[in-house]
């Protein structure tokens, strides 16, 4: 480049000098001759020195090599710690991900188990509460419905007893009334006996009068008449006693009738109220029962949901493995990078930097190819994994 | 208003008093025992005036049924108010009598 510029400058100077000669000598031929001589002389002066040229190239080469080596050193110096740091960071990432993924797996498994246990428990409760549980009548499971049934049965029995007592009492009362009627019949008969005794007394009196009129002959007959009169009076006294007894019996029987009546007459409103209260309470309990069963079923459903979500989370955790894989791949890339750096360092050592550079470029291309291949696989995997979410 | 009876070709109809309790035992018994009810006819016991019954009423009705049931007579309990119907329901009388 320099030589070219000096040659051009020389030519220009020659041209100017030729013009000057033309004007000085006022003869074109003389001037031309002088110019030819001048050009020849200058060409001889400017002829390149091959030795000098070679030295200059070598100098240039050395300088470039020095620069390259400096660049390489700098590259090595800066890249090596970065590569090492990257490698350690990668290792850490892999370790951390593996550790936390194991922990997450364990805790998700526990969560899933707990959810299952909770669901079983809730379903058990629901089963106990449901009316269907009554069918397995093994005496141990006491359900509300069964309890209600038992209480209702007891109340029914109680009312039945009520009605039965009343029925029997009324029958007794009817019998007592019949008995009173018979006693009243007896009083009529007692009155009849009294009439007969009175008539006998009257007859005995008449007989005594007739005996007194007969005088001495009727004395014995008067004794008999007196005895008959006494008998009729005794009979009357006895009759009176029977009557008194019968009256007592009648009043006693009437008392019995009253007592039996009290037994028979129970206020049914108590039973109605009891039954009403019981029905109300049972209805309320049944409603509560249904509500509890509903809630428990809902709880079981929620547990099921939790289990499903945990399953999804575990599936999602599989991406952690992919992250670890990516970290591994990153390490491979880092290794490639260090390989590249090494390839560059050989340039410095080689005597033929051109060839070494070419080799380095080839290595770079090879690494690039492998990188492209890996990233392609990565994309493929990623596309396949999308379905998981 | 006391208990009254009315006998016609359909059968016997007994209209009860305001209270049908133990005080009515004798009168009620006479109502169905005094009249001969022919076979196949029905005895209607009317509660239209009745506002209170106790357990002895149930006993009386069962006794009447026992007495009349022998001659295949149907007993109908009519015009009972809500409270009395409840008593019939609790004591399962709806199984033993026709309640209208």
The pLDDT value recorded for residue A389 is: 36
pLDDT, tens digit, 9 for 90 and up, residues A67-78:
877 877 787 788
pTM greater than 0.90 (yes/no)? no
Provide ipTM, 2 decimals.
0.90
On whether the CB atoms of residues A360 and A343 are closer than 8 A, the answer is yes
| A332 vs A367: CA distance, rounded Å | 11
pLDDT band for position A91 (50/70/90)? confident
User: By three-state DSSP, how is residue B87 classified?
Assistant: helix
Average pLDDT of the segment spanning A48-75: 83
The pLDDT value recorded for residue A368 is: 72
DSSP string covering B11-59: EEEEE--SEESGGGHHHHHHHHHHS-PPTT-EEEEE-TT--EE-HHHHH
Please choose, from the candidates B27, B97, B31, B30, the residue with its C-alpha nearest in 3D space to the C-alpha of residue B69: B97
Q: How long a stretch of residues is chain A?
A: 389
The pLDDT value recorded for residue B71 is: 63
pLDDT band for position A292 (50/70/90)? confident
User: Which secondary structure element, helix H or strand E, spans residue B76, and what is its range?
Assistant: strand B74-78
The pLDDT value recorded for residue A383 is: 43
> Is A166 within 8 Å of B59 when comparing Cβ atoms?
yes
Residues of chain B below pLDDT 70: 70-71
Q: Taking 60 as the threshold, does the pLDDT of residue A22 lie above it? A: yes
On whether the CB atoms of residues B51 and B18 are closer than 8 A, the answer is yes
DSSP state of B88: H
With an 8 Å Cβ cutoff, the interface of chain B facing chain A consists of: 21-22, 25-26, 29, 53-56, 58-60, 62-63, 83, 86-87, 90-92
> Is A156 within 8 Å of B92 when comparing Cβ atoms?
yes
| A250 vs B30: CA distance, rounded Å | 21
Ordered domains of chain B (ranges, CATH): 4-99 (3.30.750.24)
The pLDDT value recorded for residue B17 is: 93
Facing residue for B86 by CB, picked from A156, A165, A272: A272
pLDDT band for position A332 (50/70/90)? confident
Average pLDDT of the segment spanning A215-224: 90
pLDDT band for position A252 (50/70/90)? very high
pLDDT, tens digit, 9 for 90 and up, residues A31-50:
778 778 877 887 777 666 78
Picking from A159, A168, A268, A278 by the largest number of B CB atoms within 10 A of its own CB, the best residue to mutate is A268
On whether the CB atoms of residues B13 and B73 are closer than 8 A, the answer is no
On whether the CB atoms of residues A201 and A237 are closer than 8 A, the answer is no
pLDDT, tens digit, 9 for 90 and up, residues A260-282:
988 888 887 787 788 778 888 88
The pLDDT value recorded for residue A388 is: 39
Residue B57 corresponds to which tokens in the numbers above? 């009423």
> Is B53 within 8 Å of A168 when comparing Cβ atoms?
no
Q: Taking 90 as the threshold, does the pLDDT of residue A353 lie above it? A: no
Q: Taking 70 as the threshold, does the pLDDT of residue A137 lie above it? A: no
The pLDDT value recorded for residue A250 is: 93
Please choose, from the candidates A97, A264, A254, the residue with its C-alpha nearest in 3D space to the C-alpha of residue A183: A254
- C-beta neighbour count of B89 within 10 angstroms: 13
Picking from A159, A265, A277 by the largest number of B CB atoms within 10 A of its own CB, the best residue to mutate is A265
Contacts of A268 in chain B (CB under 8 A): 53-55, 58, 87, 90-91
> Is B59 within 8 Å of A275 when comparing Cβ atoms?
no
Q: What is the mean pLDDT of chain A?
A: 81
């Amino acid at each position: 480049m320099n030589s070219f510029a000096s040659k051009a400058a020389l030519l220009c100077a020659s041209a100017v000098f030729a013009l000057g000669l033309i004007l000085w000598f006022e003869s074109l031929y003389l001037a031309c001759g002088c110019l030819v001589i001048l050009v020849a002389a200058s060409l001889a002066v400017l002829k390149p020195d091959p030795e000098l040229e070679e030295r200059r190239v070598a100098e240039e080469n050395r300088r470039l090599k020095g620069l390259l080596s400096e660049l390489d050193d700098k590259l090595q110096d800066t890249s090596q710690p970065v590569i090492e740091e990257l490698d350690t960071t990668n290792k850490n990432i892999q370790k951390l991900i593996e550790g936390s993924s194991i922990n997450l797996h364990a805790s998700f498994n526990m969560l899933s188990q707990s959810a299952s246990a909770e669901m079983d428990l809730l379903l058990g409760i629901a089963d106990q509460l449901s009316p269907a549980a009554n069918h397995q009548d093994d005496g141990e499971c006491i359900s509300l419905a069964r309890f209600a049934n038992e209480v209702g049965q007891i109340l029914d029995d109680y009312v039945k007893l009520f009605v039965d007592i009343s029925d029997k009492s009324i029958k007794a009362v009817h019998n007592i009334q019949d008995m009173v009627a018979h006693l009243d019949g007896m009083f009529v008969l007692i009155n009849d006996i009294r009439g007969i005794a009175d008539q006998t007394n009257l007859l005995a009196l008449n007989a005594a009068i007739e005996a007194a009129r007969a005088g001495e002959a009727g004395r014995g007959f008067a004794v008999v008449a007196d005895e008959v009169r006494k008998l009729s009076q005794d009979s009357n006294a006895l009759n009176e006693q029977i009557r008194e007894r019968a009256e007592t019996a009648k009043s006693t029987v009437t008392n019995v009738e009253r007592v039996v009546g009290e037994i028979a007459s129970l206020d049914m409103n108590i039973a109605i109220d009891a039954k009403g209260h019981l029905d109300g309470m049972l209805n309320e309990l049944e409603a509560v029962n249904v509500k509890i069963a509903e809630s428990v079923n809902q709880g079981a459903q929620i547990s099921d949901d939790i289990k499903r979500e945990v399953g999804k989370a575990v599936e999602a955790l599989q991406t952690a493995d992919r992250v670890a894989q990516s970290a591994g791949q990153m390490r491979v890339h880092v290794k490639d990078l260090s390989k590249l750096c090494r390839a560059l360092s050989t340039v410095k050592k080689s005597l033929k930097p051109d060839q070494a550079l070419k080799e380095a470029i080839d290595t770079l291309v090879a690494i690039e190819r492998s990188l492209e291949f890996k990233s392609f696989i990565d994309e493929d995997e990623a596309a396949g994994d999308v379905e998981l979410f | 208003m006391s208990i009254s009876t009315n006998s016609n070709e359909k059968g016997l109809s007994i209209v009860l008093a305001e209270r049908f309790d133990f005080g009515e035992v004798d009168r009620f018994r006479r109502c169905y025992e005094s009249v001969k009810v022919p076979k196949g006819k029905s005895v209607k016991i009317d509660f239209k005036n009745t506002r209170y019954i106790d357990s002895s009423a149930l006993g009386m009705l069962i006794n009447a049924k026992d007495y009349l049931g022998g001659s295949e007579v149907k007993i109908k309990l009519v015009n009972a108010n809500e409270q009395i119907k409840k008593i019939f329901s609790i004591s399962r009388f709806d199984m033993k009598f026709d309640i209208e």
